[in-house]
Amino acid sequence: MSYQQGCLRQVERKEGLVWYLRYRTMKDGKRVENTKRVGPASELRTESDAWKKVDEMGIRSEINKDSPDAGTFGVLALRYLGAETRDDAAVYYVKKVMIPAWGNTIADDIKRKDVREWLKTLDYSGPTIGKIKGIMHAVYEYGLFEELCSTNPCSGWRLKGVKSGYKAIIVTPHQTLMILKSMTDLLHFTLVFTVAATALRASEVMSLRWSDILWNENRIRVNKRWRKGRDGKPKTAASDSTVALGSMLTQYLRVWRKASAYTGEGDFVFPSRTKNGSVPICASVFDRSHLRKAAIAAGVRIPEGHRFGLHNLRHSLSNWLVNQGKVDPKTVQEMLRHAKVQTTLDLYTQGDNDNKISAQDRFCGLIVDQEAA
């Protein structure tokens, strides 16, 4: 079936006139009529308004994604999402930003100048605009490889002002100890200790079930993350892995499991008590209500309006390991599960789980009272 635009019509409903898009699909070798609700005529007063809404919704790209004759950017971008990426950010920016702007434009008709001028109009920060350009570049690289397009308008030029000026606030081992001492709730204490010791992302630690704690293997399985109220795929392929489970962390997790009301293999390690353990506690609420206040009391300097949360503990472990110089770069990279060692530092060596456990235990020894351990 060739590329189709579809056609608009108004249909009377209880709420009044509603715009619908009619289009065809193939089923069992036959063409089948389909309709898609676009919106009420009271809001979309003209057909032009309705077509604009169709493009914002990415409908035409969606219904043409399996058409062999479809050479639009929208179809190319949807194929890229289906074949190449699991990243939530890529899905969001493709569907909500790129397709509304370029979805019905032939991919090879989009020029470098067009992309550059369009990026300048976006109401996003410099780093985010740089990320959008990078995703669009990846879409075209996929298209070139699959011979779905012949050029990449995102190649051969640089975008100024996209480097982030953000610097993560680093928490020292002593400050982490002070934060832990202020956590009178065992759930909160164990959560902070776990993130400090493993450098798990907040979304990853919240998704942990007790079945993910591989006690006999001295590892914690990380194969999902908690996003938008449900389990999602890991942030990157490198994130789908395990992290070390050292002796100190094992001890504190066992103590917490005995105290927790939710100890089944499928229960969350850090459950929400207000939701009866059906979901994990909310990381942003915990950061705002507990961690930030404890950090300030521990002497961490957090400027007004500067973001601070569990992710800062991830940065802190990385910073300590690198600056100590006693842990090989490959081990640091694997502990943080970066895709490339350059993300951690510009060296490459070998690392194994024993090295990671040893490094974790050395760090943990600085942030707990040895007598209590």
Correct CATH for 173-367 of 1.10.443.10, 3.30.1280.10, 3.40.50.1820, 3.90.226.10: 1.10.443.10
pLDDT (tens digit per residue) in 92-106? 899 889 988 998 888
Neighbours of 364 (CB within 10 A): 21
In the chain, % of residues over pLDDT 70: 80
CA 343 – CA 166 distance, rounded (Å):
16
- Sequence-ordered strand ranges (E) for 223-268: 225-227, 230-232, 241-244
Higher pLDDT, 305 or 239: 305
Q: Where in the chain is the domain with CATH 1.10.150.130?
A: 71-166
pLDDT (tens digit per residue) in 27-45? 777 777 888 898 999 989 8
Alpha-carbon Rg for the chain, nearest whole angstrom, is: 25
Q: Select from 127, 57, 138 the least CA-distant residue to 90.
A: 138
The pLDDT value recorded for residue 26 is: 66
The pLDDT value recorded for residue 337 is: 59
pLDDT band (50, 70, 90) for residue 75: confident
Of 71-75, 135-139, 245-249, 299-303, minimum mean pLDDT range: 71-75
pLDDT at 219 over 80: yes
Chain centroid, CA 220 distance in Å: 20
CA 171 – CA 177 distance, rounded (Å):
10
The pLDDT value recorded for residue 30 is: 75
Average pLDDT rounded to a whole number, residues 61-85 = 75
CA 117 – CA 153 distance, rounded (Å):
12
pLDDT band (50, 70, 90) for residue 372: low
pLDDT at 1 over 50: no
Neighbours of 26 (CB within 10 A): 11
Mean pLDDT over the full length of the chain: 83
Instruction: Please name the residue ranges forming H helices in the chain.
Output: 47-57, 59-63, 73-84, 88-93, 99-102, 112-121, 126-145, 173-182, 186-198, 202-206, 247-259, 283-286, 292-297, 310-324, 329-336, 341-344, 353-367
pLDDT (tens digit per residue) in 45-56? 888 888 888 877
| CB-based contact 23:34 (threshold 8 Å) | yes
Q: Where in the chain is the domain with CATH 1.10.443.10?
A: 173-367
pLDDT (tens digit per residue) in 313-336? 877 766 666 666 555 656 666 666
Q: What is the CATH number of domain 71-166?
A: 1.10.150.130
CA 103 – CA 78 distance, rounded (Å):
10
pLDDT band (50, 70, 90) for residue 112: very high
Helix (H) / strand (E) element for 213: namely strand 213-214
Bridge partners (DSSP) of residue 40 are 18
Q: Select from 229, 110, 173 the least CA-distant residue to 370.
A: 173
CA 124 – CA 118 distance, rounded (Å):
12
Q: What sign does the CA torsion over 117, 92, 146, 159 have?
A: positive
